[in-house]
Structure 1
Amino acid sequence: MSRDAVLAAARARFAAEGYEKTTLRSIAADAGVDPAMVLYLFGSKSALFRDALRVIVDPQALISAVAGGPGADPDIGVRMVRTYLRIWESEDSGPTMVAMLQSATSNSDAHEAFRGFMQDYVLTAVSGELGGGEHARLRALLAASQLVGTAMLRYVMKIAPLATMDGEDLVRLIAPTVTRYLTADATELGLPD
């Protein structure tokens, strides 16, 4: 299907060239479609960027990490951090995530697309699993701040010792904070009324 081919081409181009250097024409050529088809399917480069992110970071995987299930680690933070690190450490998704996060911090269109992805997909999915409402959304955002900050320092900026640390050691260090954000009593956490 041409939509899948365009998404695959976009993901590869964004990973290789970043947001600014990637053109809709180059994505169309890689996908074997007319550039007008790319616009028809996605509407804009930023919308294509957002949808390419959605292919890489499946909100359902994060929902499953929040929900747990049979055989899952009983600690929600451990589940979330492990799931998140797997996305960044995968050969299939890691390089694309690095390029996309770099683009989101250096280009306003990519920034808006990344923000839209976080708000419309990730935060909505995770906060829904936490019961919905403003507190659930704030909890999900606090956990996301820890995870995105970790990704920025570990995978994008590659600052040691965070960048060189064993993954399970990182899970052990970060998971308690994520667990606290997601499960602590609202008063203890200091959430607004």
Structure 2
Amino acid sequence: MPSPAKTKRRGRRQGEPVSRDDVLAAAKRRFAAQGYEKTTLREIARDAHVDPSMVLYLFGSKVELFRESLRLILDPDKLAAAITDGSGDDVGTRLVRTYLAIWESPESAVSMRAMLASATSNTDAHEAFRDFIQSYVLTTVSGVIGGGEQARLRAMLAGTNLLGTAMMRYVMHVPPLATLPAEEVVRLIAPTVTRYLTAPAAELGLPDA
């Protein structure tokens, strides 16, 4: 039997603070590598060097951890900042460029594909993804374009354009959209996104607020 002095320490020292960010980062890596269904809280805890009970204490469930991990990839605050940025580009150009940058990055693109795949194949992941879009993305984006049901619908219309573009270009790799330079895609998509976000409600045919 090895002496106590030679026993390898596992996990953290007693009293050492547990970083919520470390657990989220470990979860993001696992979900990206294995998808939602194959990832376990025990594996995430091991990667983050914490006890599995601490993961549950911090996040409550695997579903909640999946939902929170999405924020590391698709940060609603970055999308909102792109909309409110006062630079010379129009709002659609800024938003589309920010969104496509997530997909153009090899690391975040892998995570996005894995998260989307999980959301379309697992009921719990689907609910978590839908709640993330509704509670985080749409709420944040609609909040910076005026708030209310009309703003939420505008944000959703813009989102369908962005998501459809990502699916065709980065997930299904359908040409010619998949082979165009990213800035060319921005140029083509941005006017529609700008229209959804800024055109008069009557022009869009939006229901009365």
RMSD value over aligned CA atoms? 1.1
Choose from 184, 197, 203 the match for 1:169: 184
Cα drift, residue 92 of structure 1: 3.5
Partner of 1:4: 21
**Does residue 201 of structure 2 align to residue 186 of structure 1?**
yes
1:33 partner SS: coil
1:160 aligns with 2:160: no
Letter in 2 for 1:109: D
Aligned residue for 2:144? 129
Q: TM-score, normalised by structure 2?
A: 0.88
- Output the CA distance in 1 between the equivalents of 2:165 and 2:88: 21
Q: 1:98 is matched with which residue: 113, 129, 136?
A: 113
Pick one of 62, 67, 72 that aligns with 1:45: 62
Number of aligned residues: 191
Structure 2 CA distance, aligned partners of 1:64 and 1:109? 30
Radius of gyration: which is bigger? 2
CA distance in 2, matches of 1:137, 1:144: 10
Shift of 1:59: 1.4
Report the Cα offset of residue 80 of structure 1.
0.5
- After superposition, the C-alpha distances for 1:16-54 in whole angstroms (9 at most, x for unaligned) are 111111111111111111111111111111110110001
Q: Which amino acid aligns with 1:39?
A: L
Counterpart CA distance in 2 for 1:40 and 1:91 is 32
Residue type matched to 1:52 in 2? S
Are 1:102 and 1:156, in contact at CA under 8 Å, matched by a contact in 2? Answer: no
Equivalent in the alignment of 2:128: 113
Given that 1:73 and 1:79 are in contact with CA atoms closer than 8 Å, whether structure 2 keeps it comes out as: no
Q: Distance in 2 between matches of 1:155 and 1:109?
A: 24
2:77 aligned residue (53, 56, 60): 60
Compare 131-140 and 16-25 and name the one that shifted more.
16-25
SS in 2 for 1:163: helix
Gaps of 5+ in 1: none
**Helix, strand or coil at the partner of 2:178:** coil
How big is the shift at 1:143?
A: 0.4
**Partners of 1:56 and 1:93 within 8 A in 2:** yes
Q: How does 1:10-21 map to 2 (within 5 A)?
A: 10-21=27-38
Moved over 3 A (4+): none
- TM-score, normalised to structure 1, is 0.95
State the shift of 1:98 in Å.
1.2
